[in-house]
Structures are given as C-alpha cells and as structure tokens.
Structure 1
Amino acid sequence: MSLLLAIDTATEACSAAIWQDGNVLSRYQVAPRGHTELILPMVEKLLAEAGVSLTQLDGLVFGRGPGSFTGVRITLGVAQGLAFGADLPLFGVSNLQALAQGAHRHTGCASVLATIDARMGEIYAGGFTLEAGVMTETEAESVLPPTEFLANCQGQWQQGAGSGFVTYPELTARVDALCDAVPFPEARDMLPQALRDLAAGRGVSAADARPVYLRDKVTWQKLPGR
C-alpha cells in the first residue's frame, strides 16, 4: 500500500495528484500565471477528497524540470516546504518523462519524443521507451535549437508530445505529435516513476532535493538604457 502526492508547476500547466493504493485523484489547470496561488489549494482539495493528511503520505513527488526557471523553482519550493513540515522524502521526476508517460496513458504508445518549448529559439527534448509500465529515458535530455535537434537525433519514436511541437511544427516531420492531447506534463504522470523510486528507497530529504534546468545559465536582455 502506497500513498503519494505529486505536484508540478514547471510549465504553463499547474497540476497535483494523489496515488492512493492504486487509485489516482488529480487536478490540472492551464494557467500561464498564478501557479503560486493555485498549487496549494489544489493540494488541500486533493487531500480532503482522499481523506488523508500530509503526515500519512509515504512521500512527495515534484516535477524537477526542465521547464520555466520560475515554474521549476515554485514546484521545488512548495515541495520542500510541505516535506519539511511533514518529514517526508522527496522524489523528483523529469517533466519530459511525465510528458512521455502522459502520451502513453492517452494512446498506449511505447516510445515517445517529449519536447517543451524552452524559449530563446530552443527546445528541451528527450526520448523515452516503455519499460515495465514506466517511460524510461533512451535519448538523453538536452536543450538546443529544433533544427540542430532534428539534424543530430538518432532515435525513432511512435509518438511526440509537448509544447515544443506547438511552437516548432517542423518537428512533426520527425514524428506525429499529440499536440492537443498532451501539450504539458501532468503531476499524475509522474507517479509511475515515483512509485518505482519509492520501492527502491531513492527518496531524498527536502534539503537535498535539486532541480534540473538543463540550461547552465539564463540568457536575458537588459532594458533599454540599462
């Protein structure tokens, strides 16, 4: 018997989900802004619906990136705060992996190219293949321009998913995309990997949880006159 709470705010979507002995309760809302105000009420409603408290959980799952820098930091900060208070282990799951898991949930496909619009003319991308019910990385996650990705990637995928395909439709020359069905990762699709990590004892303390940005530094433009 396992009880996990998952949260994610790393992209334009804000979501939370609870795994309760094989049953999944979830909330999902596309809201480019306001994640900070949305995520905790989602968590409170899910816990109330499940009839459990934070201290009864076996662990807390968070989208560890890649995604927007602010969104990833919000997810990590909320997860750490909840975990500190309830003395829970944390399990970070890739947002690209969650996209691939969502595509599998929708269509049953066994191999997925997952992409997230990284802004600045680039995408976050990774290839995943189904192993024992969990989408597992088979082409390393990276951040690069779509044209460079298309020129260098080696994998073959049954399906594509994520906002990278919306922003850069030329990617569909490589693979058919579920642009409408799976545009953003959902917290519920982080649960399969988290359950595997829970069984293997791979949780970390709140103090040791880390994000994965893929970009080493943020590129930004100064305001005029600065």
Structure 2
Amino acid sequence: MPFHTERPTLAIDTSTSFLSLALRHQGNTLLHHSEAGTKQSSLILPHINTLFSEAGITAADLGAIVYAQGPGAFTGLRIGTGVAQGLATPFNTPLIGVPCLDAAAYLRPHQTCVLAATDARMGEVFYAWFDTQHHRRLSDYHVGKAADITLPEHTEYADGIGNAFALADKPPFDGTPDMPTAADYLNLALCGRYPATGAAHAELLYVRNKIALTAKEQAERKAQP
C-alpha cells in the first residue's frame, strides 16, 4: 500500500511503560516521550492531539501512521495499535508496523553483528541478532532466558542494545540499555524497508505463545536453574 512521505507522519510506541509519540511535518519532528506506567490508554489521545495542535494539522492530514509492532508489553502494544487503527480507518491512512527489536538494533547502525534484547518479564528477554550495516536480521525473533543467548555462527560480536542489559540477569555480552523513542521508529519506517498496510490488516508481532502464567507456573519458572 503506497504512502505519501511528503505528508505528515505520526509514530506511536507503547511497547514499554513509556508513552512515546513523534510527528514529522515539513521537515521537523515533534516528540513526546514520558513514563506513563498504566496510564497510556488515558494519556495517548490527549498527547497526540497536542502534537497535532502544535503542527497545525488533524488526523485527516496524515500520510502514514507508524506503530511499534512488538514484541513488547502486551497491553501497551494493543493500546498503540488500536489507536493507530482508529486514527487511520476514517481516512484510509496507511499503517507501517516496525518490530521493536529492529528499532533498538538500528540505534547501532553500520554494525555487522548487533544483539537487540529487551525485557520480556517473567525472567525472560526478547532478542534477535542483526547486521545493521547490510540491513539484515541474522536470527529469528526469540524469547527466553538471557543466559541462553548464543552468538550466531560465523559472526563477530560488535555491540548489544536494549533494556535487557539493565537487568540483573542480563545477556552474557557487552551492551548498553538504550531504547528507541517514537522518533527512531519513524525514521526507520521512512527508509521504505517495512511494508505499509491498511488499518484492517495491521498485525502485532508476538513471540511468546502464552501471555499470562498462573501463580504456580510463575513459581515453577523462577525455581528453574
């Protein structure tokens, strides 16, 4: 589905406890990025409207909406995607989903082997390997214990990125806990490597089949070596 890069573009990232929004208009980027906790659903539309007011536009003017596709916080991802679909549907605005690990990895451009790893809760991390120099993903998207992450064959480690590197049980590689903002998602989407779709076909990227565990399952998982 084609989209118009010369028109304003909105990006939404609610994959963590932060509410991150970016609006590109006439060469300028307006950014809102704040800790929202469990208040994302009540704060997201007022803050989007503030960005629209600052830029002097409405949702009808958007050429595309970028959204964080996952993996990430289940509820947050649903909020962000739902709002993106709600804004897009009346105007047939294209949506562009950008995987969260991709957005993290490309904070380290021009590297042949980058580990992007983010906190998946329940003692696990989401992770994938990337060659950002040649714009290739070197592995599938995974979820698992950080200690189990292994280097892909025939690669030389360059760097690690993502909030998993701030955990007590962090990946066994060097890395920094930096995370992308909505502006990074927007920049990555505008490179043209991620397809645009209609609102009805927007999808989320899940790598954990079971979202919630019972108290017994959580205790058993924590007891595992």
1:20, CA displacement in angstroms?
A: 2.2
Secondary structure of 2:190's aligned partner: helix
Aligned counterparts, 1:175-186, within 5 A: 175=174, 177-179=175-177, 182=178, 184-186=179-181
Distance 1:221 1:205, change over 3 A: same
> Given the superposition, is the C-alpha separation of residues 126 and 81 from structure 1 closer, same or farther in structure 2, using an over 3 Å criterion?
same
Match of 1:70 among 75, 99, 105: 75
Matching residue of 2:143: 143
**Distance in 2 between the 1:73 and 1:59 partners?**
19
Aligned residues: 209
2:191 is equivalent to residue 196 of structure 1 = yes
Match of 1:43 among 41, 48, 54: 48
In 1, the alpha carbon distance for the partners of 2:131 and 2:176 equals 16
Which amino acid is 1:211 matched to? L
Identify if the C-alpha distance between structure 1 residues 193 and 136 changes in structure 2 by more than 3 Å, giving closer, same or farther. Answer: farther
8 Å contact from structure 2 (residues 97, 194) kept in 1:
no
1:218 is the counterpart of 2:216? no
Output the TM-score relative to the length of structure 2. 0.82
| Alpha-carbon displacement from aligned partner over 1:63-94 (angstroms, at most 9, x marks no partner) | 01000111111111111111113321110001
CA distance in 1, matches of 2:156, 2:173: 8
CA drift at 1:153: 4.1
Three-state SS of the structure 2 residue aligned to 1:188 is helix
Q: Are the structure 2 counterparts of residues 67 and 20 from structure 1 closer, same or farther at C-alpha, using a change threshold of 3 Å?
A: same
Q: Which moved more, 1:21-30 or 1:208-217?
A: 21-30
Per the alignment, residue 115 of structure 1 pairs with 117
Structure 1: gaps of 5 or more residues = none
Q: Deviation of residue 157 (structure 1)? A: 4.1
Q: Percent identity?
A: 33
Q: What are the ranges of 5 or more consecutive residues in structure 2 without an aligned counterpart?
A: 1-5, 217-225
Aligned counterpart, 2:63: 58
- Cα 1:148/1:35, change in 2 over 3 Å: same
Aligned to 2:13: 8
Q: CA deviation at 1:32?
A: 2.3
1:33 corresponds in structure 2 to 38
Instruction: For 1:3 and 1:112, locate their aligned partners in 2 and report how far apart those are by CA, in whole Å.
Output: 31
| Closer, same or farther: CA 201–167 of 1 in aligned 2, 3 Å | closer
Q: Distance in 2 between matches of 1:6 and 1:196?
A: 14
CA distance in 1, matches of 2:9, 2:25: 7
Instruction: Measure the CA separation in 1 of the matches of 2:194 and 2:127.
Output: 28
Say which structure is richer in helix.
1
State the match for 1:174 in structure 2: 173
Compute the TM-score of the two structures, normalised by the length of structure 1. 0.82
Measured in 2, the distance between the counterparts of 1:66 and 1:201 equals 16
SS of 2:209's partner is: coil
Q: Contact 2:164 / 2:170 at 8 angstroms: preserved in 1? A: no
Report how far residue 2 of structure 1 moved.
4.0
Question: What residue number does 1:129 align with?
Answer: 131
CA contact (8 A) 2:116 2:129 kept: yes
Aligned CA RMSD, in angstroms, stands at 2.4
Alpha-carbon separation, structure 2, partners of 1:209 and 1:145 = 29
